[in-house]
Structure 1
Amino acid sequence: MAIDTGDRVNDINIQNAVIHVLDMNAEEPILNEYALDLTEDTYMFLYKHIDKIFKSDNLVPAIFNDERNIVRGISEEFLNGLEGNLIEISKELARQLFYIMKENIYIPSCDLIVTLIYTDQGPMIGILKLDYVNSFTHQVEFNDDKIAVGLIKHCAALPGSSQRIKQAAFIKPKKEGQKFDLWVLDDRKNSKKEDEYSANYFMNNFLCCSQISDSRTLTKKFINAVEIWTRSNITEDAGKAEKVRSTVKEELINKDSVDIEELSEKLFSNDTDKKRGFEGFIKSNGIEEEIKLDKDYVEKKLKKVKIKIDNDIDLTIDKESYNDPSKFEIQHNNDGSINMVIKHVFNYMEK
């Protein structure tokens, strides 16, 4: 059963922040003894990253595991006003993450920012792992009274406000009856060289938490599972594939929940094998028999329709134009193919 996490965090007020350096080439972390000076530029740098994380579709609710957990313990004591200050708990969090990172060479060096934020859902401790990115800056030299301008590569630059942080957590105060303990973003793309430890260390070994399902994660899983099944099982009949996709979109737009068996019957009433295969595949992806839809995610996901045709044509169409027969139409042919017709074009550009 999926939990209802309510609305995502909207109002964010950064109260304090501390940054530490976790360099995999060093024997110990470089721990800061001072809080960051939250100038206007620094505040906006942090705010934009935090706001982007809370708006990410990959941010999920999680609960702490039952075993002893340093991150959980010191965070709860601090948030409940029992012990510690942000600088001291941030140093302990940095030590804990650094020693975990040193266990595997595939975990990248980073700066760790620990922050206290106030939100419309209460106070939270934010933990942001900022992996280094390469950047370049110019270097000016004078050679025999002539100016020479070159480029210098910086290998330890922080991701800018337009880039995305890949791993972060926001820990809530412990309250009786709460449905989850923290929000987690763990969006690293794992290389083939990485093992299970380095792939899952942030949630499994550092935070010691487990993801739980809410309506957004289940809605996302459902949409992805339908597309994967359609690509794999309807490969030579674009008409049937279009019927699946358009029917599912109608369900997503017009309903607050989707019953998997009812949808399967609507799609494949005359094909028992496909009906069973579709239901089994969707449910094997962790989708319940009936899921409550996250309508905000549906609106965001269906705002634009992105189509790849025969691997060499890409179309991006906004929802209104896609559903407007005076602008765009899908025509079904008797051989299972379809025609996609763009109508009444008065102006176009090449990119």
Structure 2
Amino acid sequence: MEYINDININEAVIHVLDNNSDEPVLNEYSLDLTEDRYKFIFKHIEKCLKDENLKYAVFNDEKSIVKEVCKDYLNGIDHDLINLSKEIAKQLFSIMNGNTNIPSCDLIVASIVTDKGPMIAILKLDYVKNFTHNIEFINEKLGIDIVPLSSGLPGSGQKINKAAFIKPIRDDHFNLMILDKQIRKNLDDEYIYNYFINNFLGCNIVENERDMTKSFVNATEEWIRENFYEEPYKSMKVRNAVKERLREDETIDINNFADEVLSPDEAQNYKMFMTQAVPEKITVDTAWANKKLKRTRLKIDNSIDIYVDDEEYKDSSKFEVVRNGDGTVNLVIKYITNIIEK
């Protein structure tokens, strides 16, 4: 996964896309990036780029307004971010106007520079219900009430659901990064569920190293729970093998992993299960794996939770799994010097 660590905002424009209006309200000026405004936009961009739901995507071959205007800007053909942002806003509003179930929003389009190169950031800030006080005199007495603000923006501490980060369009294996956390409520929501990726951006999601690594871990855990539900020693053996591969290997061959860790029958079952979830060989996202492995959480017999730091989990002088011979195990925590109840 291409992780972005340094972000600088050059310029930003905001537009109002209200589904109750016939036309979008398009800004003719860039935002004055005061310290507070800069921090507000920066925090949202930073949160989006760090979100584990961020995906790679490639633009379709069909003509796309978003693709064309961003391509011209990032290649230095057109330097006008205001006009670029207005074209993007009009494109999104035309899609929203065709379906009133798409929530109204403010749209921020920003030119940013990162440690991975220049990008166009597109942030859809759906309105959230905030409240403020209202002061008025009633019968010569002071009254204070609480009233809703229907068009409040998500604060910098809140997450947004839809964003895109577009790179200079070259021959890379992906053109943009997308965050789209649309909740699908029923099968009739197909258009609402896919409009941001399919209709607005015109692109296809492509799997990245983090997606593959997460899928490998999650699918293996699902298989363990189905096949070793009442065999804790086997369960922990496979989980420990997964952690070892994530720590030490850059790529994991599913077939080799199964043959080394499982019995022949179990390996065959595992391979068939995994073909539906991941490719035969996956590239490990070491940054995600290292974060994932910092702590182990064990839920024991649905009633006990244990959180163990990775170093202690691997240290047999502090933590050990002991087989009882009847299929059960004892988890032994050793040499405790301090206990605090939380």
TM-score by length of 2: 0.91
Note the alpha carbon deviations across 1:260-300, whole angstroms, 9 max, x for none: 1111112222x42x322211222211x22222211111001
2:183 to 159, 171, 189: 189
**Aligned partners of 1:206 and 1:338: how far apart in 2?**
54
Partner of 2:285: 294
1:243 to 233, 237, 246: 237
Unmatched runs of 5 consecutive residues or more in structure 2: none
Q: C-alpha displacement at 1:318, in angstroms?
A: 2.4
2:71 to 70, 76, 86: 76
Partner of 2:114: 119
Report the aligned-residue RMSD.
2.2
Note the alpha carbon deviations across 1:107-143, whole angstroms, 9 max, x for none: 2222111000011222111101112222233344555
Q: C-alpha displacement at 1:37, in angstroms?
A: 1.2
**Aligned partners of 1:145 and 1:325: how far apart in 2?**
76
1:95 partnered with 2:86: no
Partner of 2:313: 322
Secondary structure in structure 2 of the residue aligned to 1:246: helix
Partner of 2:302: 311
**Aligned partners of 1:82 and 1:224: how far apart in 2?**
45
Amino acid corresponding to residue 197 of structure 1 in structure 2? Y
Partner of 1:265: 259
**Aligned partners of 1:44 and 1:8: how far apart in 2?**
20
Q: Is the 8 A contact 1:79 1:173 kept in 2?
A: yes
**Aligned partners of 1:162 and 1:289: how far apart in 2?**
39
Secondary structure in structure 1 of the residue aligned to 2:91: helix
1:135 partnered with 2:130: yes
Amino acid corresponding to residue 55 of structure 1 in structure 2? K
**Aligned partners of 1:132 and 1:230: how far apart in 2?**
42
Secondary structure in structure 2 of the residue aligned to 1:24: coil
1:165 partnered with 2:127: no
Partner of 2:220: 226
Secondary structure in structure 1 of the residue aligned to 2:340: coil
Counting only pairs closer than 5 Å after superposition, residues 143-182 of structure 1 correspond to structure 2 as 148-175=143-170, 177-182=171-176
Partner of 1:279: 271
2:9 to 14, 23, 26: 14
**Aligned partners of 2:245 and 2:231: how far apart in 1?**
22
Please say which of residues 230-239 and 180-189 is displaced more in the overlay: 230-239
**Aligned partners of 2:73 and 2:11: how far apart in 1?**
13
Q: C-alpha displacement at 1:20, in angstroms?
A: 1.2
Unmatched runs of 5 consecutive residues or more in structure 1: none
Counting only pairs closer than 5 Å after superposition, residues 11-50 of structure 1 correspond to structure 2 as 11-50=6-45
Please say which of residues 133-142 and 48-57 is displaced more in the overlay: 133-142
Secondary structure in structure 2 of the residue aligned to 1:195: helix
The percent of aligned pairs where both chains have the same amino acid is: 48
Secondary structure in structure 2 of the residue aligned to 1:162: coil
Amino acid corresponding to residue 292 of structure 1 in structure 2? T
TM-score by length of 1: 0.89
Amino acid corresponding to residue 186 of structure 1 in structure 2? D
**Aligned partners of 2:104 and 2:232: how far apart in 1?**
47
Aligned residues: 341
Note the alpha carbon deviations across 1:201-238, whole angstroms, 9 max, x for none: 11111111112222222112211211222223322222
**Aligned partners of 1:113 and 1:324: how far apart in 2?**
49
Q: C-alpha displacement at 1:31, in angstroms?
A: 1.6
Q: 1:329 to 1:39 in 2, by over 3 A?
A: same
Secondary structure in structure 1 of the residue aligned to 2:275: helix
Q: 1:143 to 1:39 in 2, by over 3 A?
A: same
